[in-house]
Structure 1
Amino acid sequence: MNSFQQINDSASKMELEAWDWIVRLDGDEPLSDEEKQQLSAWVKQSPEHKKMLCKHSAFWMDDRIAQTVLSASSTSQQTTKQPFTLFGAPSLAVLTMCFVVLIAGYFIQTPTSNQTQAIASYTTNIGEYKTVSLQDGTKVILNSNSKILVNYQDDSRNIWLVEGEAHFKVSKNHNRPFYVVAANSRIRVIGTAFTVDYSNTDNVEVEVTEGQVSLALTEPLKKTADFHNKNNAAKNTELALMSAGDFVSIDSSIAADTPASSIATSVARLSKEELQNRQAWQQGEMVFNGESLAFVISQVERYTALDIDLADQQLAELRVGGRFKINQIEFLLTSLQNNFDLEVRRLGKYKVIISRNKEK
């Protein structure tokens, strides 16, 4: 889905539970026997549970989910085992009919226990990037000048991107959803790979490299104490389901209760080259393909202590292309001077002025 979908902000507990089951059914791994029993018990609690599960299944309109459900074991107390079904009839056609209704929902887990664990902090300095291995096998690559807080609980894995940028390669665990909060944006996954960029505090950028993520608005975290149980308690406005290759930029000043339909920003599809270029920092590179000189300067300043000014603001729109090593900024500045008829002057150790070359 490449556009924001408006949803009902007053989602009930039943709706949240139904949506969580849909997410589990869509996972790469089949439900465990215990999960199948739990699903069967949940469906049998009320006819409304059946309707709600059907209602929320439109996002995952494929036969794989139906087959997963139909092939699961029944938790009935009957002596003879019967095929596991949600609606009483083991028919793919019956289940598929549920997929005709398109509606969004909230991604939030129903906690069974919430034992608070110690919050871990990971940071990088300017010009540094590092890979962090979390306790569940999830890999996090932190870009320059970044900070995350990690709060793993019994039923959820929670990350607060306080500043900077991070790429997440999430280990799958259906019983412990993985959340990342940055400013007013929250990403929820079971197991996938994606990047969140909050280096510019005016917006939060999200790009998905593998699998799918759920994007939502939430109340920004203000202090570490707010981080405990935040994802369980927050009222989130669901915006979109993003797939591999999708990119979005969210205005960080948008309130959590803003209707999704009123947000002008939409999810965009990146080409393979665009996605690779945006991920190049993980290999220690900056790749530009016609970006403005102003943007190039912002990236140089991101990785160094340099303060770069343009003597002529018209130069800001000069288009630049090339591949540069992050640890070879002097080569980039020399390239600008030699290939774009510019003059690069240093005023002290960290001050740089870029102007038009007056010598023709």
Structure 2
Amino acid sequence: MTQTPSQKSDDAERIDEEAALWFTRMHSQRITTLESTQFKLWLSASLEHAKAYDAIAGIWRDFDAMPRPTSVELISPKRHFFRLWRPLGNTLAAFFIAAILFLPYSHLPAMLLNNMTLVATDSPKEVTLSDGSQLFLNRQTRIRVAYETQIRNLYLDEGNVYFKVKSNPYRPFVIQTNERRIQVVGTEFEVDKKGQQVSVNVSQGIVSFQSANDQKAIYLLAGESATSAGINSKITRNNIEPLNIARWRFGELVFIDKPLADVLRELHAYSSANIELSPPTLANSKISGRINLRQPEKFFQALPSLLPVEVVYKDKDNILIIQNKKNK
């Protein structure tokens, strides 16, 4: 079948993007043996691939070879416009490639976000992927992006991510973590992994959640939450207010009838204080409230109004929460 001019243009654009992606990977000093093999296969698959890659490399070589004059002679722009345009275009393109190699994740062009690892340590991070999907990474989070032609794969190693998935029914969006599988078409939801436990909270749309390959997937609607405590454990479901999901994106935590132990576990990422409970059964006490993550210490000041407890500061980094004997 003969290709139309439009199809040829789309193919050429796709090949140019792939060539640019491979060029930046090969010069990033983070290329793996597998990626090196994949590059060789891509390069040998088509003469057009090789030409596109050589063109990108040529731009870089032109930039490297360009003279750096100490003075510039004023020239009539009309006579030399076209003569100057090519080296200027090459220079701009080279600066673009240099920026690709050194900019942080949150500023990388979308075409580079098909296969990479994203990490947030001391502060949340927002990333837009090549398909337009958005990821909001909470602190202490690590997720690997491994997009393929037929499927959009992501692997959550640890932490908490809020997803705004761009709909594409022909290219599923799948998150895998600790032998748990979450799949969507287009929706908004949060996945939280702490140790062996994985939780999913849905803001919009429908999400399938499967714990281990031999268990049947369940489907969660907006306002539903599910938790898998371990690889082969049964998934438990709960209802949740959609507006309260992933409030850490806005600098706060919201909890309703949540055990104190769970609240303290979430707060630990934002406060360096070591907390001791006396008696340990206080961990099961359920509380409701809202924490300003910019001032987490105020939670401990307000805790006696939420529970019959006293908060004792041993020092600035060690806090003892004691059950109030008058209210036992």
- Does TM-score exceed 0.5, indicating one fold? yes
| Alignment partner of 1:205 out of 199, 204, 207 | 199
Report which of the two structures shows the higher radius of gyration computed on alpha carbons: 2
TM-score under structure 2 length normalisation: 0.58
Cα distance in structure 2, aligned partners of 1:236 and 1:319: 34
Structure 2 Cα separation of the partners of residues 236 and 161 of structure 1: 20
Q: Per residue, is there more strand in 1 or in 2? A: 2
How far does residue 169 in structure 1 lie from its aligned partner after superposition? 0.6
Alpha-carbon displacement from aligned partner over 1:201-228 (angstroms, at most 9, x marks no partner): 232111222222222344xxxxxxxxxx
Does 2:240 align with 1:240?
Answer: no
SS at match of 2:287: strand
Contact 2:247 2:253 (8 Å CA) reproduced: yes
The CA distance in 1 between the partners of 2:254 and 2:175, in whole Å, is: 26
Instruction: Name the count of aligned residue pairs.
Output: 216
- Distance in 1, Cα, partners of 2:142 & 2:288: 30
Alpha-carbon deviations, 1:294-337, whole Å to 9, x = none? 22222221322222111322433333222121121111111114
- Give runs of aligned pairs for residues 64-103 of structure 1, distance below 5 A: none
Separation of aligned partners in 2, 1:245 and 1:343 = 35
- Report SS of the residue matched to 1:297: helix
1:351/1:153 Cα in 2 relative to 1: closer, same or farther (>3 Å)? Answer: same
Q: Does 1:120 align with 2:116?
A: yes
Q: Greater relative contact order: 1 or 2 (C-alpha under 8 angstroms, separation 6 or more)?
A: 1
One-letter code of the match for 1:181? Q
Alignment of structure 1 residues 28-177 onto 2, 5 Å: 119-126=115-122, 128-177=123-172
Structure 2 residue corresponding to 1:265, chosen from 210, 217, 235: 235
TM-score normalised according to structure 1 size:
0.54
Residue in 2 aligned with 1:253? 231
Identity of aligned residues (%): 30
C-alpha change, 1:171 and 1:306, in structure 2 (3 Å) is same
| Structure 2: runs of 5+ lacking an equivalent | 1-112
8 Å CA contact retained: 2:182, 2:207:
yes
Instruction: Let me know the Cα RMSD of the aligned residues.
Output: 2.8
Instruction: Note the C-alpha offset of 1:150.
Output: 0.6
Shift of 1:197: 0.9
Question: 1:195 matched to which residue of 2?
Answer: 190
Q: What is the CA distance between 1:357 and its match in structure 2? A: 5.6
Q: Which letter maps to 1:196?
A: V
Aligned with 2:283: secondary structure?
A: helix
Unaligned runs of 5+ in 1: 1-116, 219-234, 255-262
1:351 to 296, 318, 325: 318
